[in-house]
A = this chain, B = another copy of it.
């Protein structure tokens, strides 16, 4: 029951990128794809960020190792159904075997293959289904394999998530296409649940890595479903250069288009959050620092009491105040705070707005898409955070996840 989100229709191929996906047998349901391969042409730039969890998964460790050895990755191998996390040396060995199988079938070295997993934590991933499927995946690689791949990486997602744009840079067409998965255990920290964004524009590797850090901060690192950071979060940005267009610092149109792809994919995760009935944007303005603005935004976004009020469409905005009050902040002056629900002012300079009426708040809370805006009137820093509500369905999905 995604909020304002449909399955993607047209996805532009990206020159230099081919994809394939199958049901390999990791998931029990044979109608469901669970394994995907993405090929990146030689000479592309690749940048990646990963979960900051202390308990990162085996494939995350191996990705970091492979990127350190050979930064110009050629293949991304992604399975759903099992996270290969907290699986020790055996889990690492499984990830290595799977990379080697791709290397053998495609004629590259194992270090040029990056492995990714998502699914249940603390269960061993059986390598056999993957090893048997690899040759077929290499054979089936196709520039139009985006949708199948977006489907193969889903877990509790109800819809595949992809964003695709085409624009002209220096009078030549450039494509940007990205896919993401994620619906619960979503509070990416430096990265997110599996996301792969590619362009056929050319961007040098160092510049691409710098670009990725900035883009992730205001997209995947600005969303939360449940405050829970996964062991497997990974975000990969690829620039193949196959369009023949090289991107310069001044190409603002391209950068804006890329930022839009990041933001829309991050928002797609929230729109399809586990049990979500609301899509909520929380803007915090006038803060002394971005850290303070993000702290308030995330505290509101992760409060179970705020989230249940959102689910109930109940304008019980005392809970917004509670959440602001408990935020860990460097600086605050409650007598300066303005608080808005949509266009309705709730607090003016720290006090309930005399013009507020319950019916006004009720109208705003009844919408599917809700905006909460806090102005601290202290400084110039701001942040936007996106989140979902806490519904019966969220409890049901996560109580029954393994059954």
Interface residues of A (CB under 8 A from B): 51-56, 83, 85-89, 120-123, 184-185, 187, 189, 226-231, 302-305, 308-309, 311-312, 314, 316-319, 321-327, 329, 332, 334, 346-347, 350-352, 390-392, 394-396, 398-403
If A121-B318, A121-B321, A322-B121 touch, whether A350 touches B88 (CB-CB below 8 Å) is yes
Cα A319 to Cα B122 in complex, Å, equals 9
A401 lies within 8 A of B316 (CB): yes
Q: How distant is the Cα of A351 from the Cα of B122 in the complex, in angstroms?
A: 9
- Report yes or no: A326 in contact with B88, Cβ–Cβ below 8 A: no
A123 CB, nearest partner CB in chain B, Å:
7
Q: Report the minimal beta-carbon distance from A188 to chain B, rounded to whole angstroms.
A: 10
B318 touches A120 (CB 8 A): yes
Known A54-B334, A402-B314: A228·B309 in contact at CB below 8 Å: no
* Docked CA distance A71–B19 (Å): 73
Contact B56 A325, beta carbon cutoff 8 Å:
yes
Please give, as numbers and ranges, the residues of chain B lying within 8 Å of A228 by CB-CB distance: 303-305, 319, 322-323, 326
Q: Which residue of the partner chain B has the closest CB to A390?
A: B395
Q: Beyond the given A54-B327, A120-B316, A308-B394, could you list 17 further A-B residue pairs with CB under 8 A, ordered by the A residue number?
A: A53-B322, A55-B324, A56-B325, A86-B318, A89-B351, A120-B318, A122-B352, A185-B305, A228-B305, A228-B326, A231-B322, A231-B325, A304-B394, A311-B395, A312-B398, A314-B402, A316-B402
Q: In whole angstroms, what is the CA distance A226 to B123 when docked?
A: 29
**A329 to B52 Cα, complex, angstroms:** 12
**A86-B352, A228-B326 given; A55·B399 CB < 8 A:** no
Given contacts A121-B318, A304-B304, A392-B392, contact A325 B399 (CB under 8 A): no
Docked complex Cα distance between A323 and B189 (Å):
13
A29 to chain B, nearest CB (A): 19
**Distance between A107 CB and nearest chain B CB, rounded to angstroms:** 35
B residues in contact with A324, CB < 8 Å: 54-55
Q: Nearest Cβ in chain B — how far from A322, in angstroms?
A: 6
Q: Are B229 and A326 in contact (CB under 8 A)?
A: yes
Minimal beta-carbon separation of A50 from chain B (angstroms): 12
Q: Is the beta-carbon distance between B399 and A309 smaller than 8 angstroms?
A: yes
